[in-house]
Amino acid sequence: MSDARVAPVLPEPDADETGPYAHLGFAKARAGHEDEVEALILGLVEPLRAEEGSIEFHVHRDRADRRQFVVYEVFRSKQDLEKHLAEPYVQEFVRAIQPLVEGPLVQQFLRMVSDLPAGR
């Protein structure tokens, strides 16, 4: 198994951006592997939410296509998300999920334009 890091290059925040850094991830499970994919993704919840800089992390399944998974995560900054993506458990997750999904993991990096609720 290769020891190469598997991490995307994150777009830089806009010059006037002051809010957190948000990320959407999409994965479509291969037929018959939906439960394995769900278990792998749910295995991220506890360690990810405990990371410094993590504000939110949620796992979703599409109501029309139960093979489609979406994760939504918010970090305090781009640097916090980059640190998260380099964590060994995240690297192992990316390697483990690849054979269970159709095509590449699709990612979107978002600029949050609304305010976070108080206390976050």
13 inside domain? no
3 inside domain? no
pLDDT value, residue 49: 97
116 inside domain? no
66 inside domain? yes
Average pLDDT of the segment spanning 57-72: 98
Q: Which residues lie below 8 Å from residue 68, measured CB to CB, with a gap of 6+?
A: 26, 27, 28, 29, 61, 62
The domain of 54 spans 21-111
Q: Residue 67 is part of a domain; what is its CATH number?
A: 3.30.70.100
**How far is residue 12's CA from residue 15's CA, in Å, rounded to a whole number?**
9
pLDDT value, residue 3: 42
9 inside domain? no
Q: Is the pLDDT of residue 115 over 70?
A: yes
Q: Which tens digit of pLDDT belongs to each residue from 4-60?
A: 445 678 999 999 998 899 999 999 999 999 999 999 999 999 999 999 999 999 999
pLDDT value, residue 37: 98
120 inside domain? no
**How far is residue 91's CA from residue 114's CA, in Å, rounded to a whole number?**
31
Of the candidates 77, 85, 81, 84, the one whose C-alpha atom is nearest the C-alpha of residue 112 is: 77
Partners of 28 in the β-ladder: 68, 102
**How far is residue 46's CA from residue 96's CA, in Å, rounded to a whole number?**
18
10 inside domain? no
Mean pLDDT of the chain: 92
Average pLDDT of the segment spanning 77-103: 96
Domain count, the chain: 1
- Is pTM beyond 0.85? Reply is yes
Q: Are 6 and 94 in contact (CB under 8 A)?
A: yes
60 inside domain? yes
Q: What percentage of residues in the chain have a pLDDT greater than 70? A: 92
